[in-house]
Amino acid sequence: MLDRDGFRPNVGIILLNQKNQVFWGKRIRTHSWQFPQGGIDRGENPEQAMYRELHEEVGLLPEHVRILARTRDWLRYEVPDRYIRRDARGHYKGQKQIWFLLQLVGHDWDLNLRATNHPEFDAWRWNDYWVPLDVVVEFKRGVYEMALTELARYVPRHDHRNRYLRGGMRLREHDHDPADPAPEPLMPGASFELPPGATFEPDPQTGLDTDAQDKSHASP
């Protein structure tokens, strides 16, 4: 099923775990790595195709994931002629894709690369969000970069402060979330008042006015 410009409708899937790492699959019998993806069949909408491909390629069901976002429009890439069957050359140009950002709410053991008799991957791992594009088939790299860039804003942010509070620990100054502004140092009197006669100085005598001290020790 091609559109009038020769592009086949397709979906791509970026699957996050709870650490915001992405599923990164090695294509079967090759040295290239990629995200799950596949064509939209006649009668399917992009979301239906995404769930079907998700199960066919990594063995997950709708209850194993939640949708965080999708690209606003189709992202296109052209396939070089050497990768196109001769009978399709001249009218097939490539693929146009809607990309989905999903988060795994199940477990790692729910993934299954052998869910069907025609597996897409023979190995996989969790990878940092910004995957190494040099191991992606060259003509797909531009679309990967566009999809990752557009969907990055929807990646959940982790508030490390909650982790310390739940553990009964105070957040240290260097443990703040990189996405948050750096904490300002606590200044004396900024958030509370000292009781009468109290001082921040280790030795109360050091808080006295130096001129007054000099005068008190001066000869008459």
Q: What pLDDT score does 69 carry? A: 98
Q: How confident is the model at residue 217 (pLDDT cuts 50, 70, 90)?
A: very low
Q: What pLDDT score does 220 carry? A: 41
For residue 96, being part of any structural domain is answered with yes
CA nearest 132: which of 154, 113, 148?
A: 148
CA nearest 50: which of 115, 91, 100?
A: 100
| Total tally of structural domains belonging to the chain | 1
Q: Which helix (H) or strand (E) holds 11?
A: strand 7-16
For residue 165, being part of any structural domain is answered with no
- With beta carbons less than 8 A apart as the criterion, state whether 16 and 148 touch: no
Structure tokens at 86: 């001769």
Which has the minimum average pLDDT: 17-31, 34-48, 111-125, 160-174?
Answer: 160-174
CATH number at residue 41: 3.90.79.10
Name the residue type at position 82. Answer: R
Structure tokens at 61: 């069901």
For residue 108, being part of any structural domain is answered with yes
Structure tokens at 182: 């750096």
Q: What pLDDT score does 91 carry? A: 82
Tell me the pTM. 0.72
Residue 6 neighbours by CB distance under 10 Å: 15
Q: How confident is the model at residue 161 (pLDDT cuts 50, 70, 90)?
A: low
Q: What is the pLDDT of residues 5-24, one digit of tens each?
A: 999 999 999 999 999 999 99
Cα–Cα distance for residue pair 103/16, rounded to 1 Å: 5
Over range 107-133, report the average pLDDT: 97
In this predicted model, which residue has the larger pLDDT, 54 or 179?
54
- Which residues have C-beta within 8 Å of that of residue 128, sequence separation ≥ 6? 21, 22
Q: Which helix (H) or strand (E) holds 99?
A: strand 94-104
Cα–Cα distance for residue pair 73/1, rounded to 1 Å: 18
For residue 113, being part of any structural domain is answered with yes
**Residue 153 belongs to what domain range?**
7-160
In this predicted model, which residue has the larger pLDDT, 110 or 191?
110
For residue 60, being part of any structural domain is answered with yes
Over range 96-123, report the average pLDDT: 97
For residue 175, being part of any structural domain is answered with no
Above 70 in pLDDT, residue 54? Answer: yes
The mean predicted confidence, pLDDT, of the chain is 81
Q: Which residues pair with 23 in a beta bridge?
A: 126
For residue 185, being part of any structural domain is answered with no
Three-state secondary-structure class, residue 131: coil
For residue 145, being part of any structural domain is answered with yes
Distances (CA, A) of 17 to 12, 26, 66, 106, 164: 17, 18, 11, 9, 21
